[in-house]
Chains A and B, each alone.
Chain A
Amino acid sequence: MMKNHIDVSSVLRLAVSESYSNLVTRPTGVAVRVYIEAQIQAASDCEVTVIDFSQVGMMDFSCADEIVAKLVMQHETGTPTFVFTGLSESHIEAIDVVLERHGMSLVSHEADSNSYIAVTH
């Protein structure tokens, strides 16, 4: 199975600003998601896209909604499958809050405890 690995921290620096390390504000979230969408398009033969947050400092609710919730919802019925990895406790907290609002939640992906997928309730 072909995987597309996307480092969100690199995307943040490329899409928004070299000096940013935190995912805050809705415009930042939109810019990061649009960039990720372009990378998904460019690797359209990949069935799984791994979204790696390990180098991201803080993520607020606005970015969790724009990046995680909207990505998942826009690809809900098709490919790729998104696997979110490198999540800190506070990242998970923000994502859980926004996904709940959309009737979804994060669950562990396979046996790897630091990788998650979003599922509909």
Chain B
Amino acid sequence: MTNVITVPPSLDDATFEQILEPLSRLQRDDKVLIDARHARWASPYGLTALLALAQTRLERPSLAVPEADDVALYWARAGFFRYAADLYDIVGSVPRGRQSEPAVLLEVTPVNASEDVHTVVDKVQQRAQSILVNELKLDATATMRFTMALSETCQNIVEHAEHGGWVAVNSYRWQKRLGGRRVLVIAVCDAGRGFRASLESAPGRPRSDRWDDGMALEEAVMRGVSRFRDTGRGQGLAGVRRFIGRWDGKFSVRSGTARLAIVPTWDDDVPLKENLPPFPGAQIQITIPERVDR
């Protein structure tokens, strides 16, 4: 029997939970069809998380392509189907035309090794300057900090996931939130071992009464704790958190059953969500809004 899971019309970090909820009730070897026929929009998080989802399945899943031509074409130009075809049985027609022309700042890109991080940084550095300065009204030095944040989040996969992951970056205008301001969104998703298991692998790690995915995220993101004994390790995500605060941005990390977020004043999210449907690995999103003079 095939279990059909419907992709919400608007797929982002929040609505992706609507996919994980029914998925969490299935066995890993159950047959799944991810039905995206009625999808109208997907964020970088939505696309990269869909790829990570396929990596968690023992039985090769199927994916029904969005029926709307413009949506399917956008997913194609964002590089999604290039990798989805390796992970899913694709149901429906994938647009072939103009796929070489990127629709986004960074197409869906696999991150498996350090060399991939260099490639991602080089690509984005060239393209990001005009978006950060002209569209988001950030100062020119923001490009360096932005690429640092991108580098550190991608390295999280290489250093800790023990499993390849995906990164995508795009900028768009929010229709309803933030008064229609532009935002730049980085999504880095993997289905690897996640923060809790990574920290548990540290030799001689002291046990505490409370130890769960939420605690692991707090240790890693807020306190810069790493599985390595080297005191120089574990600074990446903590450093990213600092940058994001300076740009009034939002930083969220989901791992296992918890999600930790650095929440700016313009957003109504909560800092820590627990007891979410379990999902392996780490899913990171950075949102940088257009600056407005107050």
Residues of A within 8 A of B (CB): 17, 20-22, 24-28, 57-62, 65-66, 69-70, 88-90, 93-94, 97-98, 101-102
Contacts and interface: CB of A to CB of B under 8 A. Distances in A.
The secondary-structure label for the interface of chain A is helix
Given A25-B114, A61-B152, A98 B235 contact: yes
A63 B120 CA distance: 16
A24 B118 contact: yes
Interface residues of B, number: 24
Interface of B: 114, 117-118, 121-122, 125, 141, 144-145, 147-148, 151-152, 155, 158-159, 224, 231-233, 235-236, 239, 242
A39 B242 CA distance: 35
Nearest to A89: B141
Contacts of B239: 61, 94, 97
Contacts of A88: 144
Given A22-B118, A58-B148, A60-B151, A90 B141 contact: yes
A119 B232 CA distance: 17
Contact of B118 (A20, A70, A90): A20
- Closest CB pairs A-B (n = 9): A90-B144, A65-B232, A25-B114, A24-B151, A60-B151, A61-B235, A27-B114, A61-B239, A60-B148
B236 to A, nearest CB: 5
Contact of A22 (B125, B145, B155, B231): B125
A25 B117 contact: yes
A57 B148 CA distance: 11
Given A24-B117, A61-B236, A90-B148, 15 more contacts: A20-B122, A22-B121, A22-B151, A24-B155, A25-B114, A57-B144, A58-B148, A62-B155, A65-B233, A69-B232, A89-B144, A94-B148, A94-B239, A101-B224, A101-B235
